Structure 1
Amino acid sequence: MESQITKNVFCTYTGDNEDVDTTVFFISGNPGLISYYHPFLSLLARHLADNGEIAGQEIPSFRIYGCSLGGFEVAEPSVAGSTSKPDTKDNTGDGNSLYDLEEQICFVQGKLNEVMRSVSSSTEKKQKVILIGHSVGTYMAMEILRRHREATAESSQSDVKVRGLPDFDITGGIMLFPTVMDIAASPSGQKLTTLLAIMPQLALIVSLFARILTFILPDSVLKAVIRTVMRNPPPHALDTTFTFLKSSGGVRQALHMAADEMRSITTDKWTDDVWGVASTKDPVAELFFYFGRNDHWIAEKTRDEIIALKGRKDGLGPKMFVCEDGLPHAFCLKHNEIMAQKVSGMIKEIALNKME
């Protein structure tokens, strides 16, 4: 797999491509445009490229990959200067079908398998994956971890080869500002749930308003409005938000998915072996949870309950932290450097602990 950084895909290496046996697979939040995370992923790659040694062991090289979620892909400029349409599902014949949360999980898992299939075909090394999720991406990461464990347990090595499934281990997961339980109980979740009760067609109404607004306003004025509302965001956030609002279905996709999140992200859905709180002979992914303080997408009570019930005890379970640096839920707008430093340390710790 070649390095590439586009509006829809981020893929880079921290060392020689042929030496890499660990893929850091990033899953974005909602709205799911990977370009919001370009600075974070680039800084993460830079910190990981300065590998060196820890405790006498050499830190390996990594492949860092992320892509936009389904329904959020935007047209890419072609070599000739025209634009190419993104791949979208087409269940209704219009090419603009909306993805709910379950369909997004399948979409992301499909991308993961696609990446690892292309990698596995070019190397003899057993590949490893470290998942990173942000916001609702953490819920998707936990679900993918569960499904991968179940599929691995049910499939023999010969079955994997016959079905053409990629053979890899998920060795770790890093959950940033996780929204894995009871999202509707959060401050923003309560507001959205109330709006949806008043206006069940909220996604359609807001998307139509956005289409009218972007049609009426010149691009320069629209960017000025975005700059004011977002309080002078950095260039990458301004450009990505502009692209998001101008896209044919991004706004509706974001709200459609958010509404489904309110219905789907409720109680704990994962067994102790997925959380890593139970002793098991099977390989257990090493998990890190990084919570925000006063995060508007997770209730303080929910956060504290997760830490109390699932936090590491006797060497088992995820390592859980509550941010003391004042980082906001949307860290990818203005706080990429400090987040990249923190995450690179977690990745290095997982890689060292999972070395054969």
Structure 2
Amino acid sequence: MLKADQMDNRTNDPQRKFIYCSGAVTELLQFGPSRLLSEHKVLFLIIPGNPGVVGFYETFMQMLHSLSGHPVWAVSHAGHCAPPDSMDMVEDASAAERDDVFGLNGQIEQKLDFVRKHVPRETGLVLVGHSIGCYIILEMMKRDPELKVLKAVLLFPTIERMAQTPQGKVMTPVLCQMRYLAYLPVFLLSLLPDSLRALLARLALSGVSSLDGCIVPACVELLSGDCAANAIYMGGQEMKKVVERDNKTIKKHLDKLIFYYGATDHWCPVSYFHDIKQDFPHADVILCEKGFRHAFVLDAGRQVAKMVVDWIR
């Protein structure tokens, strides 16, 4: 049962704001209160995959908030959003380059910076990661043992051997050796008007029969300015740096972790599910039986949100 204050906080209207976090523009999507007070004991915080556009997760978040009654926030990856006219992509270009804020390590530090500045220490966190967001969550828990993590739900987790996966073998040359060639079409797409980018997104996703309504606007945002280029840059680092599974951190926090693996996930093959089950036989590791794709937000955000709330309960 939900408490009265939780019932009052539920709303279907998301709030969006842009802030600087670790010196880079960051988009925040919020369901429920936009500022946490002492009575807010739990926050669901979404750590996205790559691309880290929070708009992709709107329906998923809406259902999480509706079912749980708790605030649900998502924080974009640094530079994976089109800044408003009043903001630049970074506050200080030299500092952003020095700290590699758009790289994988920079993205981890950006999430920790956000939590430290915007989430009270007494607020319990339910961290929900998707894809590379799962790797980021494990790193957050490793780097800041003081984080008050109640549960961490890792959806379609890319936490090991990314370059060796079927999709990784295809994408590693594109993201690493041919990254600068990939920037050209991304730049040309960013010059198109929003309506044409939306049309191209619908065409590209025409094979998804029940495409979620939040996806096309998020695609339009992704193809604006430098967002997609920053996503490509981050992806290249993922292929190089996500190699060995962090068994030490997993073992330390095993009682807080829930893993959900896809049955046909080319970024995280079923063999990885069997491997982690063998290494951690008592872990909460689940194999999808519903046929959800790695990019579940395309058409199954509501269904996955219901599962997440059931697991937490």
State yes or no: 1:23 paired with 2:43: yes
Secondary structure of residue in 1 paired with 2:59: helix
| Superposition pairs of residues 126-137 of structure 1, within 5 angstroms | 126-137=122-133
Structure 2 gaps of 5+ residues are 1-8, 18-26
The answer on whether the counterparts of 1:173 and 1:288 sit within 8 Å (CA) in structure 2 is: yes
Match of 1:170 in 2: 149
Q: Structure 1 CA distance, aligned partners of 2:150 and 2:193? A: 48
Q: Structure 1 CA distance, aligned partners of 2:95 and 2:137? A: 30
Match of 1:192 in 2: 171
TM-aligned CA deviation for residue 98 of structure 1: 5.8
- Sort the Cα spacing of 1:130 and 1:221 in 2 relative to 1 into closer, same or farther, 3 A: closer
| TM norm structure 1 | 0.73
State yes or no: 1:180 paired with 2:159: yes
Deviation string 1:125-146 (CA, Å, 9 cap, x unpaired) is x332121110000000011111
Secondary structure of residue in 1 paired with 2:294: coil
Q: Structure 1 CA distance, aligned partners of 2:291 and 2:264? A: 9
| Superposition pairs of residues 319-330 of structure 1, within 5 angstroms | 319-330=284-295
Stretch of structure 1 that moved more, 188-197 or 178-187: 188-197
Identical pairs, percent = 22
TM-aligned CA deviation for residue 101 of structure 1: 0.7
Match of 2:204 in 1: 229
State yes or no: 1:38 paired with 2:58: yes
Secondary structure of residue in 2 paired with 1:84: coil
Q: Structure 2 CA distance, aligned partners of 1:290 and 1:17? A: 31
| Superposition pairs of residues 161-310 of structure 1, within 5 angstroms | 169-196=148-175, 200=177, 202-215=178-191, 217-231=192-206, 233-246=211-224, 248-271=225-248, 274-276=249-251, 285-310=255-280
- Sort the Cα spacing of 1:10 and 1:347 in 2 relative to 1 into closer, same or farther, 3 A: farther
Match of 2:140 in 1: 144
Q: Structure 1 CA distance, aligned partners of 2:180 and 2:222? A: 15
Aligned residue type for 2:139: E
The answer on whether the counterparts of 1:73 and 1:86 sit within 8 Å (CA) in structure 2 is: no
Q: State which structure, 1 or 2, has the greater radius of gyration over its C-alpha atoms.
A: 1
Deviation string 1:106-163 (CA, Å, 9 cap, x unpaired) is 01111111122xx35xxxxx332121110000000011111122xx4xxxxxxxxxxx
Q: Structure 2 CA distance, aligned partners of 1:65 and 1:20? A: 13
TM-aligned CA deviation for residue 34 of structure 1: 0.6
Q: Structure 1 CA distance, aligned partners of 2:107 and 2:139? A: 11
Q: Structure 2 CA distance, aligned partners of 1:94 and 1:65? A: 25
State yes or no: 1:6 paired with 2:16: yes
Aligned residue type for 1:65: W
Aligned residue type for 2:39: D
- Sort the Cα spacing of 1:242 and 1:87 in 2 relative to 1 into closer, same or farther, 3 A: closer
Structure 1 consecutive aligned stretches of length 4 or more whose deviation exceeds 6 Å:
93-97
Deviation string 1:236-270 (CA, Å, 9 cap, x unpaired) is 11111011112x21111111111100111111234
The answer on whether the counterparts of 2:45 and 2:74 sit within 8 Å (CA) in structure 1 is: yes
Q: Structure 2 CA distance, aligned partners of 1:110 and 1:234? A: 31
Matched positions, count: 287
Q: Structure 1 CA distance, aligned partners of 2:281 and 2:15? A: 36
Q: Structure 2 CA distance, aligned partners of 1:112 and 1:287? A: 19
Q: Structure 1 CA distance, aligned partners of 2:48 and 2:104? A: 13
State yes or no: 1:66 paired with 2:74: yes
Match of 1:103 in 2: 106
Aligned-residue Cα RMSD (Å) equals: 2.7
The answer on whether the counterparts of 1:146 and 1:270 sit within 8 Å (CA) in structure 2 is: no
Q: Structure 1 CA distance, aligned partners of 2:129 and 2:175? A: 26
Match of 1:79 in 2: none
Secondary structure of residue in 2 paired with 1:92: helix
Stretch of structure 1 that moved more, 231-240 or 183-192: 231-240
Deviation string 1:173-228 (CA, Å, 9 cap, x unpaired) is 1000001111111111010123356xx2x33322222222342x454333222111
Structure 1 gaps of 5+ residues are 50-61, 77-82, 121-125, 153-167, 313-317, 349-356
The answer on whether the counterparts of 1:31 and 1:72 sit within 8 Å (CA) in structure 2 is: yes
Aligned residue type for 2:306: Q
Q: Structure 1 CA distance, aligned partners of 2:116 and 2:96? A: 27
Q: Structure 1 CA distance, aligned partners of 2:216 and 2:237? A: 27
TM-aligned CA deviation for residue 323 of structure 1: 0.4
